[in-house]
Amino acid sequence: MAQINGKLSENPARLLQKLIRFNTTNPPGNETDCIKFIYSLLKEAGLEPVMLGKVPERQNLVVRLPGKKDAAPLFMYGHADVVTAANQEWQHPPFEGVIDEEFVWGRGALDMKGGLTMMLSALLRAWHEGVTPPGDIIFAVVCDEENGGVYGAKYLTEEHPDLFRGVKYAIGEMGGFTLHLGKKRFYPIMISEKQRCSFKLTVTGPGGHGSLPVRGGAAAKLAKILERLDKKRLPVQITPPVKMTIEALGQNMAFPASLIFRLLLKPSLTDRLLALLGDKGKFFDPLLHNTVSPTIIRGGDMINVIPGEITVELDGRLLPGLDKGEMIAQMQDLIGSEADLAVTYFSPGPAEVNMGLFETLSDILRESDPVAIPIPFVGIGVSDARFFCRLGIQTYGFTPMILPKEIDFSRLIHGANERIPLEALTFGVNSIYKLITQSAF
């Protein structure tokens, strides 16, 4: 058994195939079988993993590769759950992990069982080779990332913070893979992310019988507010991590792109420039503003009754480092006094960025791909980094992959035909192995 597993750790594609075959679609998740499989691999290799969880079917795993204790521990983590593959047309079944000449196919190949495979393979390789890194390497596989992290990262950081004592830096998902811009190969490394801040807006007005129309009622008030939200943006705000991202892009682009990026950072010009850029500016818009999207509208439930109250829920996204109070004030300015505004959910994310490990990660990428241009970037979604930052841990998105132009990461994750090139998988294992063995953190 040990020998079979030994081989598995040397064959990342086969290991990834095994992980994909556990259907960990969340909800409901049911990650425990997958976690147990990783547990047995580590245990048979002679390491001492532990399994922890709020409930038996939603377990997490933490293991430590002992280092010399000359440096702080380095932390690597990833999630074992995946999003649904239902109602999508796949070339190969999503939970078979088909391996062909070029790719491993399946749900999670990129997000993020591929990343877990890289971390696990690199860790086992270092262990089998007797490597003793400067600091301990802590590896965690968590559940429930795709649905709020309550059973996963949130639980671990709240109930077992001691497991991560002394950690300054971590690597996690979203970053370290090729972004083709012009003829250049950029490698964005996520250094921070936006924060979720949801709102509920209530408008009221005279109700009554549907046969007797009212003017200026709740529906009419709501229409005006929704139109304002559609036409206007919240104010431009240039936050330090976004500034770093856009500056790094600008410095590595030729004219006129270099100039455009510089001007994007001038608040008086930002919105005009975004309008001129059209589709090309879409990616930068949410990095330069807090945003809200109306998603759930509830009003009357009878065709012949005019509702006296209508509520709208808004998915709000706050720029990193900003406080929700600022966003409430911006929202009130925009929607006016006709509606009642309440915050229904706020999950603070990373505030200050610590760039201490960034150069080490960049050097590794440049070693693996000599023309790599590593740049910092800010995620517009949320990840488990928001829980670990509460323990003072800076996460970098770093699951390194060299990707050909045809592979569009953002379209494949959560979509049909998710797959990872075999070359990218090897690239990732080797890069993370270098991180484990070479650097002092």
Q: For binding to Zn ion (CB under 5 A), which residues are involved? A: 111-112, 173
Residue 311, token pair as written in the block:
């509520």
Smallest separation, CB 357 to Zn ion (Å): 20
Q: Any bridge partners for residue 200, and if so which?
A: 313, 342
In angstroms, the CA 31 to CA 22 distance is 8
Tell me the residue number closest to Zn ion, measured at CB: 111
Nearest alpha-carbon partner for 177 in 408, 434, 416, 438: 408
Q: CB-wise, 110 or 402, nearer to Zn ion?
A: 110
Smallest separation, CB 189 to Zn ion (Å): 16
Question: Which residues fall within 8 angstroms of residue 307, CB to CB, at 6 or more apart?
Answer: 207, 218, 219, 299, 300
Q: Assign 74 to helix, strand or coil.
A: strand
Q: CB-wise, 112 or 249, nearer to Zn ion?
A: 112
In angstroms, the CA 183 to CA 235 distance is 34
Residues in the chain, how many?
Answer: 441
In angstroms, the CA 406 to CA 138 distance is 34
Smallest separation, CB 60 to Zn ion (Å): 15
Place of tokens 């950690």: 167
Q: Assign 16 to helix, strand or coil.
A: helix
Smallest separation, CB 146 to Zn ion (Å): 7
Smallest separation, CB 126 to Zn ion (Å): 24
Q: CB-wise, 67 or 114, nearer to Zn ion?
A: 114
Question: Which residues fall within 8 angstroms of residue 135, CB to CB, at 6 or more apart?
Answer: 67, 68, 69, 70, 71, 72, 73, 74, 440, 441
Smallest separation, CB 317 to Zn ion (Å): 17
Smallest separation, CB 48 to Zn ion (Å): 27
Q: Assign 441 to helix, strand or coil.
A: coil
Residue 285, token pair as written in the block:
């818009």
Smallest separation, CB 206 to Zn ion (Å): 47
C-beta separation of 209 from 305 below 8 A: yes
Q: CB-wise, 205 or 397, nearer to Zn ion?
A: 397
Q: Measured between alpha carbons, how far is residue 326 from residues 110, 112, 356, 383, 387 in Å?
A: 36, 34, 29, 22, 22
Q: CB-wise, 144 or 173, nearer to Zn ion?
A: 173
In angstroms, the CA 98 to CA 378 distance is 33
Q: Assign 6 to helix, strand or coil.
A: helix
Smallest separation, CB 240 to Zn ion (Å): 25
Amino acid at 194: K
In angstroms, the CA 260 to CA 189 distance is 22
C-beta separation of 100 from 22 below 8 A: no
Q: CB-wise, 111 or 313, nearer to Zn ion?
A: 111
In angstroms, the CA 89 to CA 375 distance is 34
Q: CB-wise, 125 or 194, nearer to Zn ion?
A: 194
Q: CB-wise, 152 or 374, nearer to Zn ion?
A: 152
Please classify residue 412 by burial: count the beta carbons closer than 10 Å to its beta carbon, then call 0-12 exposed, 13-18 middle and 19+ buried. Answer: middle
Smallest separation, CB 67 to Zn ion (Å): 27
Q: CB-wise, 80 or 314, nearer to Zn ion?
A: 80
Q: CB-wise, 127 or 151, nearer to Zn ion?
A: 151
Q: CB-wise, 111 or 271, nearer to Zn ion?
A: 111
Smallest separation, CB 384 to Zn ion (Å): 8
C-beta separation of 206 from 213 below 8 A: no
